[in-house]
């Protein structure tokens, strides 16, 4: 058995799957589960690695050291959003009317997160995580917490996790709750309503600069997964490593202490300060921000950074710079653009190398995990023949 280590554990559980399986076409149901599990696992890693596939749940783990509470919440939220979008896409794409396909909207996703001490041991030639904290996070999958959120999908964070990640749960409006866990006793937890977060994210999509609105668009390709690129692009601890002349980034978040729309970054250039106000924030996907330069004669610069996946765990970064709102600012911004683009390219080259090195480090440190389920996409390409669509209560 390896030496115990401190870890953040997350179990992502597809809720409603057991009931969903009753009476549906198994081949399509298995394909759909594999498809959705891949979406969930891809959303959580990195920084989380897959420890074990547990039927309709994925047990994920990350070292506690260096874990950013705001980033973990973003990862959980963005994974849930990706799951919901995939549910919607599958439902719209399939022409199959079998029960397995027609009942897709009944599926949902919940998360349980806990921080504690784990040990690794080999059981039947497979690595297993063991310890009381591993038992706790699994037992919390069966809870009464959902009733406090009107049975909405949720993310459950234990008190230990909230303390370790420095999440201001009360300030953020997370719902406090106590769970009675067999043998272990009473465990304090905090709940985030993911349905509310999803509805808000879907309705609040006004900050992105479109390509038509852009004065200039620049593309980069980086040899690292999107989540790592996002972390280096947005995390105040990492940004001075690649932003030329920036010695420190002081982050002024909202009261919730979560990075996002409304956060103001003070980028320190010696005695000068460049202000950056985040206008739109979609974790691990895109960010729109307004930059104000120390020289009052220079116009503000508004840009959207968009990250998309490329084959081979690579990432495309698209930077769109907005045309000025005031016509009189256009000449000054056009004069500034060559300098800004040069500095941007220089910085992204450094960021790309940092992200690539981090991706390689994480890959070396992570032992080969469980094999991911494979989906053949039969629910889209091979509809069940001769199956009449049934009416179901919703």
What is the 8-class DSSP label of residue 272? E
Alpha-carbon span 233 to 75, nearest angstrom: 15
Pairing verdict, β 126-130 and 301-310: unpaired
Residue 43 · residue 199 · CB < 8 Å: no
44 phi/psi in degrees, rounded to 5: -90, -15
Q: What is the pLDDT along the chain (394 residues), one digit of tens a residue?
A: 567 888 899 999 988 777 767 666 666 677 778 888 888 998 898 889 888 888 889 999 988 887 888 889 989 998 999 899 888 877 776 666 666 677 777 788 999 999 998 888 877 667 788 888 999 999 998 888 778 888 889 999 999 999 999 888 888 888 998 888 888 888 899 999 999 888 887 776 557 888 888 999 999 999 999 999 999 999 888 999 999 888 888 888 766 667 888 888 888 877 778 888 888 888 889 999 988 877 777 778 889 999 999 999 899 999 999 988 776 778 888 888 898 899 999 999 999 999 999 988 877 666 556 676 666 666 655 655 544 444 444 3
Alpha-carbon span 292 to 298, nearest angstrom: 8
Alpha-carbon span 267 to 163, nearest angstrom: 28
Half-sphere exposure of 171 (CA within 13 A, CB side): 10
Q: Which long-range contacts (CB under 8 A, 24 or more apart) does 18-23 make?
A: 18/56, 19/106, 20/100, 20/103, 20/106, 20/107, 23/99
Q: What is the pLDDT of residue 393?
A: 42
Q: 5-201: which CATH number, 3.30.1330.180, 3.40.309.10, 3.30.70.1230, 1.10.260.30? A: 3.30.70.1230
Q: What is the pLDDT of residue 389?
A: 43
Residue 358 · residue 239 · CB < 8 Å: no
10 Å CB burial of residue 313 (0-12, 13-18, 19+) is middle
Residue 117 · residue 5 · CB < 8 Å: yes
Indicate where the chain has its CATH 3.30.70.1230 domain(s). Answer: 5-201
Angle at 38 between CA 103 and CA 159, to 5 degrees: 90
Residue 68 · residue 283 · CB < 8 Å: no
Residue 174 · residue 190 · CB < 8 Å: yes
Element (H, E) at 354: helix 330-365
Q: Which residues contact 231 (CB under 8 A, 6 or more apart)?
A: 47, 68, 71, 238
* Residues 207-365, CATH architecture: 2-Layer Sandwich (3.30)
Half-sphere exposure of 4 (CA within 13 A, CB side): 9
Alpha-carbon span 363 to 202, nearest angstrom: 34
Alpha-carbon span 194 to 12, nearest angstrom: 13
Alpha-carbon distance values, 101 to 3, 93, 120 (Å): 46, 10, 39
Q: What is the pLDDT of residue 35?
A: 83
Indicate where the chain has its CATH 3.30.530.20 domain(s). Answer: 207-365
Q: What is the pLDDT of residue 252?
A: 82
Q: What is the pLDDT of residue 391?
A: 42
């Amino acid at each position: 058995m390896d030496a115990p280590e401190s870890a953040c554990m997350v179990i992502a559980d597809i809720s409603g799957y057991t009931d969903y399986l009753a009476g549906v076409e198994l081949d399509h149901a298995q394909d759909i589960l594999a498809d959705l599990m891949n979406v969930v696992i891809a959303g959580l890693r990195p920084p989380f690695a897959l420890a074990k596939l547990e039927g309709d749940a994925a047990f994920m783990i990350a070292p506690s050291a260096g874990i950013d509470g705001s980033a973990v919440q973003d990862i959980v939220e963005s994974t849930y959003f990706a799951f919901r979008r995939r549910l919607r896409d599958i439902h719209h794409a399939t022409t199959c009317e079998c029960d397995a396909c027609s009942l897709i909207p009944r599926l949902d996703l919940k998360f349980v997160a806990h921080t504690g001490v784990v040990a690794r041991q080999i059981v039947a030639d497979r690595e297993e995580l063991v310890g009381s904290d591993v038992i706790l996070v699994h037992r919390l999958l069966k809870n009464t917490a959902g009733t406090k959120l009107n049975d909405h999908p949720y993310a459950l964070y234990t008190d230990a996790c909230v303390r370790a990640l420095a999440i201001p749960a009360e300030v953020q409006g997370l719902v406090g709750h106590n769970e009675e866990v067999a043998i272990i006793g009473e465990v304090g937890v905090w709940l985030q309503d993911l349905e509310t977060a999803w509805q808000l994210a879907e309705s609040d999509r006004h900050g992105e600069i479109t390509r038509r609105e852009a004065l200039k668009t620049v593309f980069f390709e980086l040899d690292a997964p999107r989540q790592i690129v996002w972390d280096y692009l947005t995390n105040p601890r990492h940004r001075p490593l690649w932003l030329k002349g920036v010695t420190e980034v002081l982050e002024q978040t909202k009261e919730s202490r979560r990075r996002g729309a409304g956060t103001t970054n003070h980028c320190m250039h010696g005695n000068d300060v460049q202000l950056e106000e985040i206008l739109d924030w979609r974790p691990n996907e895109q960010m729109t921000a307004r930059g104000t330069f120390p020289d009052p004669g220079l116009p503000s610069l508004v840009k959207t950074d968009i990250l998309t996946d490329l084959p081979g765990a690579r990432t495309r970064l698209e930077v769109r710079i907005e045309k000025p709102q005031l016509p009189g600012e256009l000449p000054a911004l056009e004069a500034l653009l060559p300098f800004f683009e040069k500095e941007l390219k220089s910085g992204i080259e450094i960021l790309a190398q940092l992200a690539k090195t981090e991706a390689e480090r994480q890959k070396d440190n992570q032992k080969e995990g469980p094999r991911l389920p494979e989906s053949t996409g039969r629910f889209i390409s091979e509809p069940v023949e001769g199956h009449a669509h049934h009416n179901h209560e919703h």
